[in-house]
Structure 1
Amino acid sequence: MSPYLICADGDEMITFVEQVFGGKLQRRFNRPDGSLMHAEVRIDDSILMIGGGATSAQQVAPHIHVYVPDACEVFDRAVAAGATIVQEPQRKRDDDDLRGGVQDASGTTWWIASQ
């Protein structure tokens, strides 16, 4: 299963994923005007699909949960890349995971966690 994000600015999302999660662009398809139609970015062993710009699909505000080796380090990279803090990394009493949340410029909320 691969998440598919519809973004007003797909190029901005690709840059964010590259900077924060070390994502690597695998495939990109442009419209005739050169704007992004579809892209696939690899994060570790997963593919994130990104659709951009003018499309009949409505952009929604998804939430994506990502496990990483160091949640604080990735959280800090996300903030440095321009994300807004939703929740500082913390551990809840009933959950051993360290988890924080950020929202990127397209409105996607990323829950960044380490077990």
Structure 2
Amino acid sequence: MHEWKPVSYPSVSPYLICRNAEEVITFLEAAFDGILLRRFDRPDGSLMHAEVRIDDSVVMIGGGATEAVSAPAHVHLYVKDAQSAFARAIEAGATAIQAPARKNEDDDLRGGVKDASDTIWWIATQ
């Protein structure tokens, strides 16, 4: 156990600055069984910071109402069933970037979707 980080948090977490942070949280919950761990709002009620657990990782999300702007990012996520997770992501409002497929010498079945803040999620199963 480390005293310098929250219990069960990884040492590295992606931090996404999202103009549509609420939609992204809902998307992560619906598409990837994400669990909202913490949320901090600004005095006006808008999201300042949130943390969503997906399996053994934590995705940190900042609301886009500061000088930091929403920027497209790519996040790679291993799941038990890439086809199912891809379908759930589309049902949750994502846009398909690439249908799940195996390419070249890669053992992974991988597909890509884009969420409401233009983050591209690469969903894979080895």
Where in structure 1 do 4 or more consecutive aligned residues deviate above 2 Å?
none
The equivalent of 2:29 in structure 1 is 18
Corresponding position of 2:82 = 71
SS, match of residue 78 in structure 1:
helix
User: Amino acid of the residue matched to residue 61 of structure 2?
Assistant: I
TM-superposed CA distance for 1:57, in Å, is 0.8
Question: What is the TM-score with the length of structure 2 in the denominator?
Answer: 0.89
What letter matches 1:109 in structure 2?
I
Residues 64-103 of structure 1: pairs in structure 2 closer than 5 A: 64-103=75-114
Alignment root-mean-square deviation, CA:
0.7
Contact 1:21 1:74 in 2 (8 A): yes
Higher Rg: 2
Query: Deviation string for 1:88-111 (max 9, x for gaps)?
Result: 000012101000001111100000
In the TM superposition, residue 59 of structure 1 has moved relative to its aligned partner by 1.3
Q: Counting strand residues as a fraction of each chain, which structure ranks higher?
A: 1
Aligned length: 115
Task: Indicate conservation of the 8 Å contact 1:63/1:111, yes or no.
Answer: yes
Runs of 5+ unmatched residues, structure 1: none
**Aligned match of 1:54 in 65, 78, 81?**
65
Give 5+ residue unaligned stretches, structure 2.
1-11
Q: Is the 8 A contact 2:95 2:115 kept in 1?
A: yes
